[in-house]
Chain A
Amino acid sequence: MYISFSDRRGGVTAPPKSAAKVSSVVISLGVVSMLTDISSESVAAILPLYITGVIGLSTVAYGFIDGLYQGISAFVRIAGGWAADHGDQPKWIAFFGYGVSAIARIGLLFAAGFGTLVGVLALDRLGKGVRTAPRDALIVASSDPDNLGRSFGVHRMLDTVGAAVGPLLAFVILFFIPDGYSTIFVVSLAFAILGVAILGIVVPNTRPRAERAAVAADPRAPARFRWRQLTDPRLRRLLLCAGLLGMLTIGDGFIYLVLQSRGAFAAAWFPLLYVGTNVAFLLLAIPLGRLSDRFGRGRVFIIGHVALLAAYISAALPVSGPLVTILCLVLLGTFYAATDGILAALASQCAPEEARASGIAAAQTVVALTRLIASTGFGLLWFSLGRENAMLVAAAALALVIPVAAILLRGVVSRQPAR
């Protein structure tokens, strides 16, 4: 077993919590994320229809700009983490991020052309980039360190419920009102504002540094955020590990395309395969989060990548059919459930309290950027080797890297926390 982190500055974090329960703050943050995801995913799901059907443009043009925004999003993510640590106000930085996205929804109501639409979507992504790390830092600050995996599990479960409900809601609206895009935008705006309102009104402004200073024996020397705190060797190892694995995490889209090319079942349900992944993700988020608290977060993180490896293999195997497709989606959902929130939990353990949001942001940025590289590189393999062979090469590389990552992570979580 990995050493528990309960010894880490025990008892200095915010209000007393029952060890068995998840803080109401975490649940509130989960509801905020759920509402925001309903808001953003309902629009994202119908965007191709809207661009082709209403604005009257090929969606291809959108793909060209998409990569750029991924880069911007990674950059502001770091900025959001830094701002949250520097000002010791993670709630209000997250509030700003959610608010920017909500304002973007108002813009959507008036976006007439492709240019304005792209601008509105860019604003939405900026907001998403800013809010993620401060929000995850708030989850850490409101959770018992022993139950961190479970807290993130609850949050990601609620978050993914929103991601699954959003598209369904949008398609129900289009079913009743075939040209009801403005209705979708209004509904999306309502959910976004409600999410921001709950965050602003219900979620307390946990200030990790100020609270620690208040409890600390020597209040004259409250810890300040310094970049140096991000050079903790454990954080560096975690970033290296996450980066290595991220380099071999190809986009879901590729896996869906392989499935689609192999079987009639996956082809018929192609536009909905991501819903299957999301359902598996939301069902497994809490069980895997709890498992990570008992069995070790690093181990579950590695197991998640083993599930990803199995997903690659199941997609590339020369057998197809509904069962293989469903198995592959369940494995992908397992991968997200075992890695998405767990990574934030791991990062928070490897950075001191004063640099928590920055540490989380750094890990998430590394993953986002390396996955972007992975998808680009895999695209090249895809065309030079063919679908299945490219998938098998990616699987082989992942199979080699997983043990290396496991050894690296072992060092991260078995050493004493930094002082």
Chain B
Amino acid sequence: MTARQRVWLVTIIGILLLSGAAGYGIVAWAEHRARASGPSEVESVVTDARPAGARVVFRNTALGAGYGLVASVPLSDPTAARSLTDLACDRVYATDALQSCLHIDRGVVTTFNGTLSDASGRETRSWPLAGVPSRTRISADSSLIAATSFVTGESYATVGFSTLTTISATDGSQDYGNLEDFALFVDDLRITAADRNVWGVTFSDDDNTFYATAASNNQTWLVRGDLAARTLTAIRDTAECPSLSPDGGRIAYKKEVSGAATPQWSIAVLDLATGTETMLPEKRNVDDQVVWLDDDTILYGLGRDGTVGDSDVWAVSAHGEAEPELYLAHAWSPSVVR
């Protein structure tokens, strides 16, 4: 083959390959358009005002119009038509006064941000995130907010895929910063290893104590945090993404049970007074920070088999007595406004 023939050959190969890939992309785009503009899989109503009253706020993942928007259903009737807002969030948490929204801003330059909005839907604060949104929580009295994101965007993965968790006052008066800068104690020893990570905050009612996950060297701990003292103290190992019960007496968390490279998480409930851990009968892999529907029931999201980007919210008894039940189809990131 002459040099000229070789160039022609790779040119033809290049045209075939790239037009093939472009064709695949165009078909995928057309399919996406058809899905996104089609009717929603669930009954929903678009609302301007944010609904009041006891409700479950979540991310709507029903394919079709309204996908990815914050929605809510009355606590008394979760099967009712869902009220859709016009706010898109990847992770959402609401109290009666405030709503925290972690969001991926897609585009040629994709960035990540968090916003806080008040009961009228007006944005009160916004801040950039270091990467893909993970968890967010607001304290029950709406005075503190926590947000966890993954740290992404490093071409040389030397820091690894770590997390960044921050706590601040919702009115912007105080910023407690990155929780990795808090002193971490395990069995009275301070852990200073480089690979420390903290994620998944849950607040108690005193505006100072919180619980979270701390990790280092392939180990995870449930830690009790003290905002004033800037400390994290391990109270149990192998526990992630804690969630404090409304009565403040128990903590539910996901617990790694496989011991292998590919994690398998189950839900456990720890009684803080007795130290008793109860494993719940959910057999599927739960990667979520659970929420308490009430003092007896836990809600969590699970991916829907076979559908990319869709998920359901399930409910299970916090006492480990009954099998899980589907609570809300096509939903993710639930929070309960009482």
Contact A58 B261 (CB under 8 A): no
Contact A182 B28 (CB under 8 A): yes
Least distance between B28 CB and chain A CB atoms (Å): 5
Q: How far is the CA of A270 from the CA of B153 in the complex (A)?
A: 7
Q: How far is the CA of A345 from the CA of B135 in the complex (A)?
A: 47
Query: Which segment of A295-303, A313-321, A372-380 sits at the interface?
Result: A372-380
Contact B28 A194 (CB under 8 A): no
Q: How far is the CA of A202 from the CA of B199 in the complex (A)?
A: 51
Least distance between B192 CB and chain A CB atoms (Å): 5
Contact A253 B28 (CB under 8 A): no
Contact B107 A181 (CB under 8 A): no
Least distance between A128 CB and chain B CB atoms (Å): 13
| Interface check A60, CB cutoff 8 A | yes
| Interface check B173, CB cutoff 8 A | no
Contact B161 A175 (CB under 8 A): no
Query: Which segment of A44-52, A82-90, A133-141, A408-416 sits at the interface?
Result: A44-52
Contacts of A56 in B (CB 8 A): 285, 287, 303
**What 1/0 flags go to A150-169 for Cβ under 8 Å of B?**
00000000000001000010
The B contact surface, by secondary structure, is loop
Contact A253 B150 (CB under 8 A): no
**What 1/0 flags go to A163-187 for Cβ under 8 Å of B?**
1000010011111111111110011
With contacts A61-B261, A65-B261, A171-B106 taken as known, whether A177 is within 8 angstroms of B32 at the C-beta atoms is: yes
Contact B28 A177 (CB under 8 A): yes
Least distance between A147 CB and chain B CB atoms (Å): 22
Query: Which segment of B16-24, B229-237, B312-320 sits at the interface?
Result: B16-24
| Interface check B44, CB cutoff 8 A | no
Q: How far is the CA of A53 from the CA of B102 in the complex (A)?
A: 14
| Interface check B40, CB cutoff 8 A | no
With contacts A41-B155, A66-B160, A171-B109 taken as known, whether A270 is within 8 angstroms of B128 at the C-beta atoms is: yes
With contacts A183-B24, A267-B128 taken as known, whether A254 is within 8 angstroms of B159 at the C-beta atoms is: yes
Instruction: Give the contacting residue for A252; candidates B21, B151, B156; CB below 8 A.
Output: B156
Contacts of B9 in A (CB 8 A): 201
With contacts A178-B32, A178-B309, A260-B130 taken as known, whether A48 is within 8 angstroms of B155 at the C-beta atoms is: no
Q: Using a Cβ–Cβ cut-off of 8 Å, how many residues does chain A contribute to the interface with B?
A: 80
Name A186's closest neighbour in chain B (CB-CB).
B24
**What 1/0 flags go to B150-170 for Cβ under 8 Å of A?**
111111111111110000000
Contacts of B159 in A (CB 8 A): 251, 253-254, 257, 375, 379
Q: Which of B1-53 contact A (CB under 8 A)?
A: 1, 6-7, 9-10, 13-14, 17-18, 20-21, 24-25, 28-29, 32
Contact B194 A59 (CB under 8 A): no
| Interface check B134, CB cutoff 8 A | yes
**What 1/0 flags go to A53-72 for Cβ under 8 Å of B?**
11011111111111100000
Contact A253 B261 (CB under 8 A): no
Contacts of A173 in B (CB 8 A): 25
Contact B131 A48 (CB under 8 A): yes
Q: How far is the CA of A152 from the CA of B111 in the complex (A)?
A: 33
**What 1/0 flags go to B286-328 for Cβ under 8 Å of A?**
0100000000000000010000110000000000000000000
| Interface check A227, CB cutoff 8 A | no
With contacts A180-B25, A251-B158, A252-B158 taken as known, whether A202 is within 8 angstroms of B7 at the C-beta atoms is: yes
With contacts A60-B162, A171-B106, A180-B29 taken as known, whether A273 is within 8 angstroms of B261 at the C-beta atoms is: no
Q: How far is the CA of A180 from the CA of B159 in the complex (A)?
A: 28
Write the residues of chain A forming the contact surface with B, with a CB cutoff of 8 angstroms.
Answer: 41, 44, 48-49, 52-54, 56-67, 113-115, 118, 163, 168, 171-183, 186-187, 189-191, 193-194, 197-198, 201-202, 250-254, 256-257, 260-261, 264, 267-275, 277-278, 371-372, 375-376, 378-380, 382-384
| Pairs of residues from A and B, 8 with the lowest C-beta to C-beta distance, nearest first | A379-B194, A251-B158, A63-B160, A271-B153, A253-B159, A190-B21, A59-B161, A253-B154
